Every structure is written in C-alpha cells, then in structure tokens.
Chain A
C-alpha cells in the first residue's frame, strides 16, 4: 500500500475487530478480487486461508466457498471498481441470496492499481487528477445493498476507527450479507482539490447517524443506553450493537427510512455513516438451501454415493 493509504487504516480496524470478538483465525477465510483493496487480506490473519481471485468475481467465489463449508466465516475485501463495475452483477446476486459474509468495500472512487481512472462510485462533479470532470452519477453501494435486502448495511470512513471497528465487529457477528461501504481516500490518485473522496473532503462531509458501541456476547456489562433515544440491535451470536442517537432518532430496521436518509445526505453533499440498515429476519443462503450441518467439503463417499440397488431401480425405470 502507499504510505497513508486508507486501506491500511481499514485493515487495522478489521484486525482489531477480530481480536475484540475473539475469533479463531482458523475459522476465517479471506477472499478478494483484484485491485489495491484486494491485496490487503494478505496483510492480516496469516493463519487463515485466503483466496485472491479474479477481478469482480470475489462475491461468486465466496458464495461457492460458503456452500462448500458454511461453518467458516468469510470476509471479502473489495474495491469500488471490483464491486461497483466489473463485479456488480455478482455482488447484487450475492446480496439477493444473503450469503453469509462480511463484505468490505474500500471505496475511493478511483482505480488505483491502473493509475487513476474514475470508478463507478465517483461522484458527479468530482475532478480527476488531470482535471477531467466526472459527469455520470455514482452508484451508491449502500443504497443498492439495502434495495437488494443485504441484511446488514453500514457506511463508514477509514479514518474513523472509533466508528469503523464496532461496525466490523457487528458485521462479523452477523449471519448473512454484511456490507460495509468504507470511504477510503486514495492518497496517490484521488486526494486532490476537487475530488469528493479526498481525505479533506471526506472528513468535512461525514454525516454520522449515531455513535456506536459493540458489546460481544461474552460481556454482560450494562451498556450506556438512553431509553427512548438509543437503539439496540441484537445480532445472531448474542452480541449487541448500541446506537446512540446524535441529531435525530434512527431505526435501522426501517428500510424506507434508511433509503431516504441516504438520499437526504446525498442532497446535502454528505456521506451518511453508521449502521444504516439491519434486517434480522432473513435466513442466510446456506440455511435457505437447508444444507446439512456437516460442511459439504467434509462429507464422505458413504454420505455422497447412493447405493447400487438405487441404480438398479433407476435402470429398471429406464427399461420402460
């Protein structure tokens, strides 16, 4: 990574989240596509299996890996090019299926590894290093994720570890597609005056909905919780997220409110951050398919191969 890259800050938050949640790295699989962001899984959890796949296909590769062994905890790290352009179709369908994954988009609005082309998340009016102005509307990945009913959708900023780390912790504890759209300034190609994803611009336009506390299941501590204004989210493994109200009360399980909040922030030229949407009521893909508890990858010939007698029966049917 370049010195000062937002991606490194995200990796630091990710590592901290795994540590805080006491997750055994051997239960984790790390997946990524192609791009600067996709290189980062090589830099954390060295005891975990990793798979750096091809451009745009991480969501589909992760889907297959999840089917093969749903007892593993996949984390996917991708970028805005990998997710919102070449891989958009697969990304959408992964969320539609609610594949169990923590999916982090390190979003800098630019193709870094190929030296500075606009990505599909670049805002209208944002200026490229050479002066070219983007005039095509951005794809808002958080809004898209909510529309397709990904079950945990958050946006944050690479530099805001206080917010990002608990959001990653919550994503890890969640069972289903947890999408984190993290603004992560590219210090080399998109950090200049006129860019809407520069460090300076992002910091000045953050619009947090709430302050966040993550409480893992093993901690019985009473959270600092204001009845009436704060919101508690219970996650699948028993952990909790406490959302402390900032300006207005916000219920992340309200889909319509979530989408209109995103639109409202865009209209004001701001990045809405926090846990924007949460749906506790959907089964994840492996549950939806009613997969056996034993991972498919561990089934034996006895489990998988039907008997000779069954084949005899089929043959008998083919004689009719």
Chain B
C-alpha cells in the first residue's frame, strides 16, 4: 500500500443544491486553511436554487497549487441522483464516503476504491429536532467524518465555527454536535485510510487571506472612487455589485451627512449601461457589472461611450455562452465581444486580472484609465476568478492620486481664455489622440458642448462631412495607440535558452503555472507570458519573436485571444498553437499538459514525415 501524502488531498463533495452544503463545505475549507495548509476550493453549482446536483472540490496542496485538480482522491457521495456517476469520478485507490443509514445498493459498488460509511441521516435525526434545519445539518456529519479520517483537530473546527457564526452560540453548538457525531462515529469504528494526512503547518497561512475575485474587485472599485454604480442582476456578476452594496456604507464616509455614492439596480442592462454613460458624461466615476448576455445588451451604449468619448467602467464576469449558455459555469469566451464591442469600428481597453490581488488593483485603476482615455474600460474576469474562494496575499492599496485625465475645471478654462486658447472638445491638442473635456456643472462660459452619438466635428457640432467623420475615427485610433503604452504590461518569466513559450491570461494563469511545473518534470521547459490587458503591448511581439513554439492557453472554443494576436502580428502568428479548454469547468493543469504534449507529438510526426 502507498504511504499517505502529507497535505496533498483533493476532496469532491457531491450534494444537492440548496441542501446546506455551502455551509459545511465552507467550514471544511476554512479548517484546512486554518491549519496553515495551502488550499483552494471550486464550487461547481447549477443554475438553480434547490434540487439540482452540485459539486464542491476542496484541494489541499503542500506545494501551493490552487487550480482545480483533475484527479479526485475522495468522493463524498451525498447525492443519490449523481451517485452512479460520482463513484467513477474518484481515482483508483481513492475513497468514497457515503451515508450508510441504509445499505448501499449494489450498483453503487465498484472495485479499486475504499468505501467508508457514516450514518448521517440516523445521526442527524437523533441530534436535530424535526425541522427544515435537520436536512441541512446532515451535511455537517461528513465534515466530522472527514476531519477524523484526515486529521483535522476538533479544536480547529470549533474555531472556524466561531469565526463563521460568531454571535450565534446556539448555531455553533448544534453544528458542532453534528460534526462531532460524524467524528466520533469514525473513531468508534476505528476507520482509517491511507491516502493523505493533513498536518498543521505552523504559520503556514500567516498573513494570507481568502476571498473571491468579485469581492476584491468590488473593494477595488470603491477604493478607485466609483460613485455611480448601476447594475442588473446576472450570475456570476451579481455578487460584485452586492459586495459594493455591503461595503460602500461601511467604508465610504458620509458627505454632508449623506451618502457619497449612488447604487441603482436598473430595469435591465440596457438601462444600467445607459445610466453609467450619463453619469460618466456628467463627471462621476461610474461603473456596471455584468456577464455575457448583459454585455450583449450593453453594446449600443458602449459604442456611444466610445464615440462620444465618455469614461465609464464595465466589469464583465464571463460565464459559459452563447445565449443563456451555462450561467453558473466559467469561460473566457467574451474577449472578442469586449474588444470590438458595438457596431462600427471600435476598439476597447480591457484590463485582465488573474488573481484576487489584481482584481482589486485593476478595479481601482480602471477608473483612472477610463478618465485618462475618456473611453469605456472593461475589467474582464470570469466565474472561476469571481466567485470561487482564492488564497492570496492581503489586498494592497497603492497610494497614488486619482488620474482624472484631461478634465478642465472652470479656473483652467479661464486661464486658457486669457491665453487666447479655445476649448475644442474633440480637438487633438497634444498629439496623443486624447482631447480635453469639461463636465456639466462647469460654470465657465466656454465649458459647454453638445455630446452626441451621431457624426460630429472637433467642436462637437453635428457633422456629416466626410473629412470631419474620418478625422474623428482616425484620432480615436490614435488614442487607442496611446493607451497601448499605458495599460498593464504582461508578466514574463523566461530563461534565455528556452524556446517554447506559453501565453495565457486571467484565470488560466493558475492551471498554467502548475502545468509548467509538470511539463518541466517531464522534460519540457517553458517560458511564460501572462497577458494582463488589451491592447497588446510591445512585450507580446517580443515574446512571439523570441520563441519557436508558443502555446496559447485560453478557455474558449474559438481561440479568441490568439485571433487578436495573429491579427496584429500576422508575421509571427503562425507560431501560436492554441490550447483550448471550454467545458465550463475551471481549467485543470492536466488538460493543459495533455493538449501541449498532444500538439508537440503531432508536430514531431509531421516533421518526421517531411
């Protein structure tokens, strides 16, 4: 028999949605975190409130990997509806924990795995009076059973319960009773397993935090000065706006004894986008958050904001499309839509965070970019990054002044007037494609202008003149080229002698990081570039030039980022081999490794045939 690993374990909990497993899984996850072990969790939930199957993976990784692991060591089989499939999700030599209140049907037996039973129904019936709560507390039993089997101390569980339910001793007590019953049952039966042992790492997670990308982005937006927030509920972006609703009254001090922000749940995404365009025009830092279907509805407003040059920020938390698609699953399939959103010639600035820290940082800075470039700015995230819990360093605030860009106050206009200079709203005075702007409320007699989505000249006057029209389009392109020099640069890890590169972006970063280590142990060393924004910066071209083969990992079918890169660098684009993962689940390192090896072998075969 194998010796158990230390602190390397992947548990999958299969339950029914709405059965209270969110709470029990959270306690289990936090307990492992509290032991100081690097850990991650992936919630694979249905678009439903109660009744459909849901899976939650908790991974402990001594090496600190946070991606969804492809191999499941332990299956908590607590959902009859999926049990027949769940028994095959666990690896050979793995463990299945099931409720043995009633005997396990023969068809749920398979060879090569260990079965351990815990009579969760019976125990919870004894401990919890008949109530809707009883069904929910049944899930606490497996927390106790796993705690015993893998070595989580009950004192740690208690501490997590206190952190979670703080001021509700009755809730703590009843949960603890159920967890303890599961624990004691396994102990009485002297059950053991030989897969893994969880051991406390002293100070292992000291100073580390656990949060979701949506929460981090919401906080970043608050620190970035968002003051008009208009949104419409849509998974997986709602929790971003809701986090702002929660934190704004707690964080932002009142002004004049009243609120220094407006947060509005709009009637639809057309309205939320239109509202933030109106607010951006009128000078507030405005934002919305949405997902694919909402982004589709926002397209007309995005074109308006682009053409009338109005700052506003769009947080896009991507999910599985097209159409309603998979609302509760993850994807990176709206990159093309964002980049060229709306009709006509448009190009948009997109910031692409890859972890919770960059969610916070890019969210804050997105308002500076929007004001600096007087244009809509996207923050492109996805469900995996936005809604799953991530272990990270604490959120850090870079103290730097807000960049309001070329926004003229009345006093500056007065100076201009004295100097004989005229304010021309859409005139490229500085040669960088960025004009000066004023906002309503500016009382200077030169300040006002007429913004419009129809053709206009440099003075914002209605114009259908062919020269006026083309001049504005060309200047907008120039402005975009200026933005190229300002957006966050990629993070590059490279060794000179290595000629194979991997490019990825966003939440693909973590599986790629792990995949690169696995590739290395199998003899393939790779360099890496993490793209963090569009437009592409010059580093991307350098990276393409420096490598013979480049694998571009993204979570969509049509290789959307690869298409953008190939379009901009047609001479180097042929080096790109796309690694595409698009089943709606967070990408795993194994998928990355397998596709890269498959591609490498097929290239070798082709070369051999030549």
Q: A residues within 8 Å of B by Cβ?
A: 26, 29, 31, 41-42, 46-54, 57, 60-69, 71-72, 89-90, 92-93, 286, 289-299, 301, 303-306, 308, 310-312, 314-315, 318-320
Q: Considering residues A41, A48, A93, A291, which has the most beta carbons from chain B within 10 angstroms of its beta carbon?
A: A291
Residues of B within 8 A of A52 (CB): 450-454
The 6 closest A-B pairs by CB, nearest first: A64-B278, A297-B283, A64-B275, A60-B274, A68-B284, A68-B282
Residues of B within 8 A of A303 (CB): 253, 255, 260
Q: Considering residues A50, A54, A301, which has the most beta carbons from chain B within 10 angstroms of its beta carbon?
A: A54
Which of A61, A68, A292 is close to B283, meaning CB atoms less than 8 Å apart?
Answer: A68
Q: B residues within 8 Å of A by Cβ?
A: 30, 163, 205, 207-211, 219, 222-228, 230, 247, 251-262, 264, 266-268, 270-271, 274-286, 300-301, 303-304, 308, 394-395, 397, 399, 401-402, 438-441, 443, 445, 447-454, 462
With A42-B462, A304-B227 known to touch, is A292 a contact of B267 (CB < 8 Å)? no
Is the CB–CB distance between A301 and B276 below 8 Å? no
Is the CB–CB distance between A289 and B274 below 8 Å? no
Chain B: CB-nearest residue to A304: B225
Is the CB–CB distance between A315 and B228 below 8 Å? no
Is the CB–CB distance between A53 and B274 below 8 Å? yes
Which of B30, B247, B253, B450 is close to A51, meaning CB atoms less than 8 Å apart?
Answer: B450
Chain A: CB-nearest residue to B166: A320
Chain A: CB-nearest residue to B356: A318
Is the CB–CB distance between B260 and A292 below 8 Å? yes
With A61-B275, A90-B271 known to touch, is A296 a contact of B223 (CB < 8 Å)? no
With A297-B282, A298-B283 known to touch, is A320 a contact of B163 (CB < 8 Å)? yes
Residues of B within 8 A of A297 (CB): 227, 282-284, 439-441
Residues of A within 8 A of B401 (CB): 301
Is the CB–CB distance between A310 and B251 below 8 Å? yes
Residues of A within 8 A of B402 (CB): 301, 304-305
How many contacts between A and B, using CB within 8 angstroms? 222
Residues of B within 8 A of A53 (CB): 274, 277-278, 304, 452-453
Is the CB–CB distance between B271 and A60 below 8 Å? yes
Tell me, rounded to whole Å, the shortest Cβ–Cβ distance linking B421 to chain A: 19
Is the CB–CB distance between A60 and B266 below 8 Å? yes
Q: List 7 A-B contacts (CB under 8 A).
A: A26-B443, A49-B447, A93-B266, A292-B260, A293-B256, A314-B219, A319-B210
The distance in angstroms between the C-alpha atoms of A219 and B527, with both chains bound, is 79
Is the CB–CB distance between A89 and B260 below 8 Å? no
Q: Considering residues B276, B279, B397, which has the most beta carbons from chain A within 10 angstroms of its beta carbon?
A: B279
Is the CB–CB distance between B450 and A319 below 8 Å? no
The distance in angstroms between the C-alpha atoms of A52 and B452, with both chains bound, is 5
The distance in angstroms between the C-alpha atoms of A303 and B259, with both chains bound, is 11
The distance in angstroms between the C-alpha atoms of A291 and B282, with both chains bound, is 15
Tell me, rounded to whole Å, the shortest Cβ–Cβ distance linking A286 to chain B: 8
Is the CB–CB distance between A296 and B261 below 8 Å? yes
The distance in angstroms between the C-alpha atoms of A318 and B207, with both chains bound, is 10
With A50-B450, A72-B441 known to touch, is A318 a contact of B277 (CB < 8 Å)? no
The distance in angstroms between the C-alpha atoms of A291 and B264, with both chains bound, is 12
Is the CB–CB distance between B454 and A57 below 8 Å? no
With A93-B271, A301-B401 known to touch, is A54 a contact of B262 (CB < 8 Å)? no
Residues of B within 8 A of A314 (CB): 219, 247, 395
